[in-house]
Structure 1
Amino acid sequence: MKLAPFIAVEGPIGAGKTTLASMLAEELQLPIMKEIVEENPFIDKFYQNMDDWSFQLEMFFLCNRYKQLKDIVSEYIDKGKPVISDYHIYKNLIFSDRTLKGNEREKYRQIYHVLTDDLPKPNIIIYIRAELHTLLKRIAKRGRTFEEGIDHNYLQQLIEDYDAAMTALAAHEPSTHIITINGDVVDFVENKEHFEEIATQIKEFME
């Protein structure tokens, strides 16, 4: 039986994940699952002191994303209905591997696998890849207060971490189709043709 599309839009901070996922949800008439960001009570403290608040931040994200994923499994995926998300839960490992160290990292990875190993993974990933200057421009444009002092080195490292993660996913989850978008060149917000090209690729997988 052909699986209903479970589409995830991914990329580092500021790539435009939520914007693209929302546009595609409207174009394709799909329900959308959006990640919780600003509701995380530890996020301001994290950007002020990453070492002290990383574990609390990452655990909050993990538990909330786990609950969201369980909900879409029961509401859509188990019923054969397509759905789109503005994240892949795998991002928890991308970020935690960067922010956590030693025993805390190992504990976190164990909890992650206990919670997520038996849950469905997206069969389509749209990966928005962009360089630092593009991400910084988009971060400034959306104007989130807690992101104003984001460490440029941290953001650059996330770009590299995402590249490595997508390569790993392609190798270990061959049933997942990854569509990579050059976010420095493709402007799916201002250029209608750019967006339509992305939407067309997704429609082909839904036929």
Structure 2
Amino acid sequence: MTLDRYRYLVVEGPIGAGKTALARKLADHLNANAMLERPDDVPFLPKFYVDMPRYALATQLSFLFQRVHQISDLAQIDLFHGQTVADFLFDKDPLFAELTLSDDEFKLYSDIFHHLKLQTPKPDLVIYLQADVEILLQRIRARGHEYELKIPDGYLRKLVERYSRFFYDFNDAPLLIVNANNLDFVDESEDFAILLRRIEAMKSGREYFNKS
């Protein structure tokens, strides 16, 4: 099985959906460059989950600058001679800002975002992992990152709704929407193999995968 036609793949989804784990797995499988978010490099993130209004702007801008640097590096990679798998879609960045920032802060963020926004390569495929909020909460608790355990349930529900709205209107790249409630791509090799076959079989610009 070959996925050579996909030079730039993006895995997306809310916290706990498994996007980073799947992106790593795909990158290893394809011997591709892994372009991953680095939340541990954002010093404001643990404080954000404790006091969102106070630290939302600093956290948002830290992630934005991090992603800009990573996308700048991606622009230097010859995608015709290698593959890249990312666990974030740059154009989705405002989704979090709309949810957490005040009106004045969002205006400032938007000005910076549009000023910094680069001509980014268009993904050959975006894989959007959907999961119920209860499943996401179980996974967040299971992996035990201390600062994530402080995520309010209400915030996570709103975030899941924003993701659903964003990808409902998304048409900038081929999109595979995956129901990830009952999938474990890391520890269940068959789940990963099924997904690979599903990706390879894609024929239209928007398709769905629900493990039966």
1:44 alignment partner, one of 36, 43, 46: 46
CA distance in 2, matches of 1:139, 1:76: 36
Identity %: 32
CA distance in 2, matches of 1:140, 1:54: 22
Judge which range, 196-205 or 18-27, deviates more: 196-205
| Structure 1: unaligned runs, 5 residues or longer | none
CA distance in 2, matches of 1:126, 1:196: 15
Aligned residue-pair number: 199
Mapping for residues 54-73 of structure 1, pairs under 5 Å: 54-73=56-75
Tell me what 2:149 maps to. Answer: 148
What code does the residue aligned with 1:40 have? V
Q: Deviations over 1:5-28 (max 9, x none)?
A: 211100001110111011111112
- The answer on 1:199 being equivalent to 2:196 is yes
Q: Contact 1:7–1:122 at 8 Å: present in 2 too?
A: yes
| Structure 2: unaligned runs, 5 residues or longer | 203-212
CA distance in 1, matches of 2:116, 2:199: 29
CA distance in 2, matches of 1:200, 1:29: 18
CA distance in 1, matches of 2:105, 2:62: 14
The two structures have a TM-score, normalised by structure 2, of 0.87
What code does the residue aligned with 1:30 have? A
What code does the residue aligned with 2:93 have? N
Judge which range, 193-202 or 89-98, deviates more: 193-202
1:188 alignment partner, one of 179, 185, 188: 185
CA distance in 1, matches of 2:176, 2:106: 30
Give the SS at the match of 2:10.
Answer: strand
Q: Deviations over 1:55-112 (max 9, x none)?
A: 00000000011001110120243x5532100111123111111001212101212221
Q: Contact 2:10–2:88 at 8 Å: present in 1 too?
A: yes
Tell me what 1:122 maps to. Answer: 123
Q: Contact 1:124–1:179 at 8 Å: present in 2 too?
A: yes
CA distance in 2, matches of 1:189, 1:201: 17
Q: Contact 2:14–2:159 at 8 Å: present in 1 too?
A: yes
Shift of residue 144, structure 1, vs aligned partner: 0.8
Q: Contact 2:6–2:125 at 8 Å: present in 1 too?
A: no
- The answer on 1:100 being equivalent to 2:97 is no
2:25 alignment partner, one of 23, 26, 35: 23
Give the SS at the match of 1:141.
Answer: helix
Shift of residue 199, structure 1, vs aligned partner: 1.8
CA distance in 1, matches of 2:32, 2:81: 13
